[in-house]
């Protein structure tokens, strides 16, 4: 795309993009550390993640401020307008992802003993998948690659399925031994956080589609999270 | 760029400006001096023409010579001359009497005649009459006499009561061979008639031509040619228009010579280019946005021009018209060519009566030998200049009044 | 993006077009200034009772086409218009249409306010008078007052109707020109950058006025300000180098234009 006649306009948008890239990269880092802290029961790492979350908050504020200034100054139209709207929304999504990663890390405090192997594998797989989704969608945004974004958008279905099975597992453990309830509840929350991170990455993918095409995605996203409708008898 | 170089340049610029201002001032002063000299010269020469001298004597209105019922028929000149001679009973010889009579004007009894006609009851009485003195006597009393022997006039001066009056005759009489009786009425009437014809023909034609050329004519080589020719015509020597008038109006159409009609036609042709050029410039100066606005509202081209453009062009057109009028007033050469150079004593009453115009009158008077006509000529010049000032003043006033109303 | 589709006779079904009848329909219009080909094969449908904005860089032909709608180009020597511009079932370029009659149905407001140097009353009354819209002075008064009211100027000038129109402020003069255009009861109002000589407050008032007027008139506005086009119009046409590049709903054009050239222009990437 050719440059704006006003160079300062290009600079404004470039700054927004680089701030978003920084925020995305940092969120990826936070997520990786949170997962590691939870599976390794590393309290120190967990506390680091919790403390660092405010950096993401700060970045989100900066991006929002920059976006508002650009709107006021440049009266952006068409693609520029979508660019800035999407930047605000994505920064909000990434900030939520950061919060969810922080919450996941917090759960590390509550895990006192080693997890059962099945749970550990499941959670680890969820973490990997969430991380992959985040990386891919941020990459898709950087390249304005709608196809890649849509792939992430559809892949979230798998993450939801995985969450369902972990949910069932945790229910089983809790029913087996009431002394497990405490730990399992924390793990439940942790898994839920990861599943929510996946949802946020699909939000980002929807924004990428809007950015590229100027229209929202029409079809319904394939969702597979049926946990809200599960009953004990479904076992 | 050093300071001193800059200072030098500045000083040189100031010096140049000062020199330029000085040149302007010198030019202005020189022009004023010449103008002043001219005016002073003319006024000095001309003011005597505005004064006439009259003698006051007793005249017996002999009832035997005047028919009370019809006082106009009596010969008042004889009565006045008798009364005059009675004042100098010592002048008895024929030649002396002739000399005495020569001191009175040809029309010396006119005022008395008017009086008696107005009031026939005066018949039979002896009245004090003011009688007009002849040119020689008049000059003597104005101090301009070039006579060698002024003894008679000195006697008259001692004996008779001589009074000075403003000479309204200058404006109420027609032309005459006698200097003291010569007036400008005929010339002014002729000028007015001639210029009236010139403007009545030239102004509408000129304005219409200007509007047509500017607004309605198609822009092609023909209109360009016409435009060039109009500009050239404005610079043609005026005598050529006179030749045209002679050839076309007098010879071809057989119109009466020296009539204001012909003079007016010739002058109309003369001022037409000037009026067209001024009117065109005035129409061109109207901002095109006004015309566009009128067209946008649905006016036709003609309506837009006549309702909107023309009213705004009026000041410029007026100025051009009055300048044309002033020029027409002062033209001499072309009118000479069509014969307005004769001695016309009567005041012209219609457009086809023989007439003369003010500038031509000046020319004619300037050629006459009598000393009295010298001051008359200068006086006529003063009258012409006054009229021209007046006309130009109107032009300036109108221009100021209508200026820049948009 | 295939830009052939954008010059089609029927644009990609703008929402507005479906709701309103077509007021002006142009087909294969070409306009030449001597040798210069100013408008190339233009086809467009302009709907009634809506504001259509023409945008584009300088020299793109938007003003040229605007002036073709009321045949003001006739006053320019060497200007040739070919093609069909249909209004009320007649081609306005044909011989049987009287241009003076046309201009009483298509009013025009110019870039620089140009009221007549006459009184305010006379400014508005001139048009109705020459077209014989009022049979007596009372009727004329009614027309003048209603036009001034519609233009939002009556309250400000009702006490000085005999004063010169040129003594008003810029914004008031432009509203006077709008009143003058409305007074002849046109069906279409053409506006050639009407606010470019006005300050922001006067501009806002005129835009407000345009918004009210569009309920009753078909309005075409040429503007250099995209923000103005976005605010004021329901449809926008983008012109470039004499061609109509895109014509569609204003909202869509300014959030997601179809043609890259349109995109580049409205985001300020031209040049």
- A76 CA: distance to closest CA in chain C (Å): 7
Is the residue at A136 inside a domain? yes
- By residue count, chain B amounts to 406
Is the residue at B396 inside a domain? yes
> Domain holding C193: CATH number?
3.40.50.300
Residue B77 — pLDDT band, cuts 50, 70, 90? confident
End-to-end CA distance of chain A: 56
Is the residue at B163 inside a domain? yes
Please report, to the nearest 10 degrees, the dihedral formed by the alpha carbons of residues A188, A189, A194, A197 taken in order: 150
- The range of the structural domain enclosing residue B387 comes to 185-402
Residue C41 φ/ψ, nearest 5 degrees: 45, 60
> Domain holding A124: CATH number?
1.20.58.220
Say whether the ipTM exceeds 0.90: no
Which chains share 3+ C-beta pairs under 8 angstroms with A? C
Residues B158 and B87 grouped into a single domain = yes
Is the residue at C55 inside a domain? yes
Residue A113's SS3 state is coil
How many structural domains is chain B composed of?
2
Q: Which residues of C touch B305 (CB under 8 A)?
A: none
The whole-chain average pLDDT of chain B stands at 87
Least confident of A14-23, B281-290, B310-319, C32-41: B310-319
Chain C interface includes A172 (CB < 8 A) = no
How many structural domains is chain A composed of?
1
Residue pLDDT, tens place only, C58-110: 889 999 999 999 999 988 888 999 999 999 888 998 888 999 999 999 999 99
Chain C interface includes A98 (CB < 8 A) = no
Is the residue at C162 inside a domain? no
Residue pLDDT, tens place only, B20-59: 999 999 999 999 999 999 999 999 999 888 888 888 888 8
Q: Do B298 and C184 touch (CB under 8 A)?
A: yes
Buried b (16+ CB within 10 A) or exposed e, A195-214: bbbbbbbbbbbbbbbbbbeb
Which pLDDT does position B404 carry in this prediction? 58
Is the residue at B28 inside a domain? no
Contact by Cβ (8 Å): A104, A193: yes
Kindly tell me if the per-residue pLDDT of B154 is higher than 90.
no
Residues B228 and B361 grouped into a single domain = yes
- Of B140, B167, B194, the residue at which a domain comes to its end is B167
Q: Do B298 and C177 touch (CB under 8 A)?
A: no
Q: Which residues of C touch A5 (CB under 8 A)?
A: 268-271
The Cα B365–Cα B388 span in angstroms is 20
3-state secondary structure chain B: CCHHHHHHHHHHHHHHHHHHHHHHHHHHHHHHHHHHHHHHHHHHHHHHHHEEEEEEEEEECCCCCCCCCCHHHCCHHHHHHHHHHHHCCCCCCHHHHHHHHCCECCCCCHHHHHHHHHCHHHCCCEEEEEEEECHHHHHHHHCCCCCCCCHHHHHHHHHCEEEEEECCHHHHCCCCCCCCCCCCHHHHHHHHHHHHHHHHHHHHHHHHHHHHHHHHCCCCHHHHHHHHHHHHHCCCCHHHHHHHHHHHHHHHCCCCCCCHHHHHHHHHHHHHHHHHHHHHHHHHCCCHHHHHHHHHCCCCHHHHHHHHHHHHHHHHHHHHHHHHHHHHHHCCHHHHHCCCCCCCCCCCCCCCCCCCCHHHHHHHHHHCCCHHHHHHHHHHHHHHHHHHHHHHHHHHHHHHHHCCCC
The distance of Cα B346 from the centroid of its chain, to the nearest Å, equals: 17
Which pLDDT does position C7 carry in this prediction? 36
Residue A99's SS3 state is helix
Residue pLDDT, tens place only, C61-71: 999 999 999 99
The Cα C23–Cα C16 span in angstroms is 13
Nearest CA in chain C to A78: C255
Residues 64-93 on C with a CB inside 8 Å of B are 70, 72, 75, 77
- B298 CA: distance to closest CA in chain C (Å): 5
Is the residue at A1 inside a domain? no
Is the residue at A2 inside a domain? no
Residues B92 and B195 grouped into a single domain = no
Residues B110 and B227 grouped into a single domain = no
- The range of the structural domain enclosing residue C68 comes to 12-114+187-266
> Domain holding B221: CATH number?
1.10.3720.10
Residue pLDDT, tens place only, A154-201: 999 999 999 999 999 899 988 998 888 888 898 899 999 999 999 999
Q: Which residues of A touch C268 (CB under 8 A)?
A: 4-6, 9, 74
Is the residue at C107 inside a domain? yes
Interface test with C, best of B223, B296, B305, B313 (most C CBs within 10 A): B296
Q: Do chains C and A meet with 3 or more Cβ pairs nearer than 8 Å?
A: yes
How many structural domains is chain C composed of?
1
Residues B130 and B270 grouped into a single domain = no
The Cα A142–Cα A24 span in angstroms is 10
- A151 CA: distance to closest CA in chain C (Å): 24
Residues 205-224 on C with a CB inside 8 Å of B are none
Q: Do chains B and A meet with 3 or more Cβ pairs nearer than 8 Å?
A: no
Residues 34-53 on B with a CB inside 8 Å of C are none
Burial class (CB in 10 A: 0-12, 13-18, 19+), C83: middle
Q: Do A9 and C230 touch (CB under 8 A)?
A: no
- The range of the structural domain enclosing residue A215 comes to 7-234
DSSP assigned state of C242 = T
Kindly tell me if the per-residue pLDDT of A232 is higher than 70.
no
Percent of chain C with pLDDT over 90: 73
Residues B162 and B192 grouped into a single domain = no
Q: Do C254 and A213 touch (CB under 8 A)?
A: no
Chain C interface includes B217 (CB < 8 A) = no
pTM to 2 decimal places: 0.78
| β-strands B51-60, C51-55 pairing | unpaired
Residues B306 and B386 grouped into a single domain = yes
Is the residue at C42 inside a domain? yes
Residue C55's SS3 state is strand
Q: Which residues contact B128 (CB under 8 A, 6 or more apart)?
A: B56, B57, B58, B59
Interface test with C, best of A4, A76, A79 (most C CBs within 10 A): A79
Phi-psi region of B342 (alpha: psi -120 to 50; beta: other; left: phi over 0): beta
Residue B175 — pLDDT band, cuts 50, 70, 90? confident
Residue C12 — pLDDT band, cuts 50, 70, 90? very low
Residues B197 and B243 grouped into a single domain = yes
Residue C151's SS3 state is coil
Is the residue at C191 inside a domain? yes
Which pLDDT does position C125 carry in this prediction? 95
Report how many Cβ contacts below 8 Å link chain A to chain C.
Answer: 43
Chain C interface includes B307 (CB < 8 A) = yes
| β-strands C51-55, C79-87 pairing | unpaired
- B115 CA: distance to closest CA in chain C (Å): 59
The distance of Cα A196 from the centroid of its chain, to the nearest Å, equals: 7
């Amino acid at each position: 795309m050719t440059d704006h006649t006003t160079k300062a306009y290009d600079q404004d948008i470039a700054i927004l993009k680089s701030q978003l890239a920084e925020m995305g990269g940092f969120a990826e880092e936070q997520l990786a550390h949170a997962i590691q802290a939870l599976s390794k029961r590393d309290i120190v790492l967990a506390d680091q993640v919790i403390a660092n979350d405010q950096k993401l908050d700060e970045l989100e504020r900066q991006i929002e401020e920059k976006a508002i200034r650009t709107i006021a100054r440049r009266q952006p139209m068409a693609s520029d307008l979508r660019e800035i709207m999407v930047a605000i929304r994505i920064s909000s999504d990434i900030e939520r992802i950061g919060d969810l990663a922080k919450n996941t890390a917090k759960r590390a405090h509550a895990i006192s003993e080693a997890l059962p192997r099945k749970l550990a594998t499941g959670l680890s797989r969820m973490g990997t998948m969430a991380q992959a989704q985040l990386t891919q969608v941020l990459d898709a945004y950087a390249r304005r690659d709608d196809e890649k974004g849509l792939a992430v958008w559809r892949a979230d279905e798998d993450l939801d399925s995985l969450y369902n099975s972990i949910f069932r597992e945790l229910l089983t453990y809790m029913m087996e031994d009431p002394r497990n309830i405490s730990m399992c509840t924390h793990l439940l929350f942790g898994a839920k956080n990861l599943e929510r991170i996946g949802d946020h990455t699909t939000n980002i993918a929807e924004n990428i589609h809007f950015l590229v095409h100027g229209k929202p995605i029409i079809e319904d996203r394939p969702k597979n999270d049926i946990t809200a409708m599960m009953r004990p008898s479904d076992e | 760029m050093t300071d001193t170089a800059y200072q030098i340049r500045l000083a040189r610029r100031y010096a140049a400006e000062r020199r330029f201002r000085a040149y302007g001032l010198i030019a202005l002063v020189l022009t004023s001096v010449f103008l002043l000299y001219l005016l002073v010269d003319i006024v000095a020469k001309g003011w005597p023409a505005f004064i006439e001298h009259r003698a006051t004597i007793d005249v017996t209105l002999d009832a035997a010579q005047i028919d009370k019922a019809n006082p106009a028929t009596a010969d008042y000149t004889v009565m006045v001359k008798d009364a005059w001679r009675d004042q100098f009973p010592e002048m008895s010889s024929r030649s002396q009497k002739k000399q005495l009579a020569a001191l009175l004007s040809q029309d010396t009894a006119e005022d008395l005649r008017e009086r008696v006609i107005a009031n026939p009851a005066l018949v039979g009485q002896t009245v004090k009459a003011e009688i007009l003195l002849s040119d020689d006597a008049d000059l003597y009393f104005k101090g301009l006499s070039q006579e060698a022997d002024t003894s008679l006039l000195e006697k008259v001066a001692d004996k008779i009561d001589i009074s000075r009056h403003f000479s309204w005759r200058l404006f109420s009489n027609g032309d005459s061979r006698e200097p003291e009786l010569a007036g400008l009425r005929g010339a002014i009437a002729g000028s007015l008639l001639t210029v009236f014809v010139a403007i009545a023909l030239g102004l509408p034609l000129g304005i219409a031509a200007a509007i047509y050329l500017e607004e309605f004519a198609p822009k092609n080589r023909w209109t360009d040619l016409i435009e060039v020719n109009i500009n050239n015509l404005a610079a043609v020597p005026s005598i050529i228009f006179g030749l045209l008038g002679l050839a076309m109006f007098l010879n071809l159409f057989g119109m009466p010579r020296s009539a204001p009609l012909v003079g007016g036609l010739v002058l109309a042709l003369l001022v037409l280019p000037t009026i067209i050029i001024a009117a065109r410039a005035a129409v061109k100066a109207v901002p095109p946005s006004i015309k566009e606005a009128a067209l946008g509202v649905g006016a036709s081209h003609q309506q837009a021009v006549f309702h909107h453009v023309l009213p705004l062009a009026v000041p410029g057109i007026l100025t051009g018209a009055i300048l044309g009028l002033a020029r027409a007033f002062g033209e001499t050469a072309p009118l000479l060519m069509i014969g307005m150079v004769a001695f016309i004593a009567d005041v012209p009453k219609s457009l086809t009566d023989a007439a003369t115009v003010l500038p031509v009158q000046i020319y004619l008077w300037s050629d006459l030998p009598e000393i009295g006509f010298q001051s008359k000529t200068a006086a006529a010049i003063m009258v012409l200049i006054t009229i021209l000032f007046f006309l130009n003043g109107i032009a300036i006033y109108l221009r100021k009044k209508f200026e820049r109303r948009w | 993006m295939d830009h052939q589709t954008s010059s089609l006779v029927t644009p990609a079904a703008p929402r507005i077009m479906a709701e309103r009848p077509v007021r002006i329909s142009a087909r294969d219009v070409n306009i030449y200034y001597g040798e210069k080909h100013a408008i190339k094969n233009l086809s467009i449908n302009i709907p009634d009772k809506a504001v259509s904005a023409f945008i584009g860089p300088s020299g793109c032909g938007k003003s040229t086409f605007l002036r073709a709608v009321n045949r003001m180009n006739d006053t320019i020597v060497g200007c040739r218009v070919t093609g069909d511009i249909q209004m009320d079932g007649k081609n306005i370029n044909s011989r049987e249409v009287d241009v003076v009659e046309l201009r009483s149905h298509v009013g025009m407001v110019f870039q620089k306010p140009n009221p007549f140097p006459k009184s305010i009353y006379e400014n508005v009354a001139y048009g109705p008078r020459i077209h014989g819209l009022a049979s007596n002075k009372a009727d004329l008064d009614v027309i003048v007052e209603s036009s001034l009211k519609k233009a939002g100027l009556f309250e400000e000038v009702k006490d000085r109707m005999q004063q010169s129109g040129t003594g008003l402020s810029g914004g008031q003069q432009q509203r006077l020109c709008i009143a003058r255009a409305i007074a002849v009861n046109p069906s279409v109002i053409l506006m050639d950058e009407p606010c470019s000589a006005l300050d922001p407050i006067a501009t806002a008032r005129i835009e407000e006025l345009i918004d009210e007027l569009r309920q009753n008139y078909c309005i075409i506005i040429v503007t250099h300000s995209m923000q103005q086009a976005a605010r004021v119009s329901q449809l926008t046409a983008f012109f470039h180098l004499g061609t109509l590049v895109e014509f569609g709903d204003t909202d869509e054009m300014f959030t997601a234009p179809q043609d890259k050239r349109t995109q580049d222009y409205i985001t300020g990437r031209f040049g």
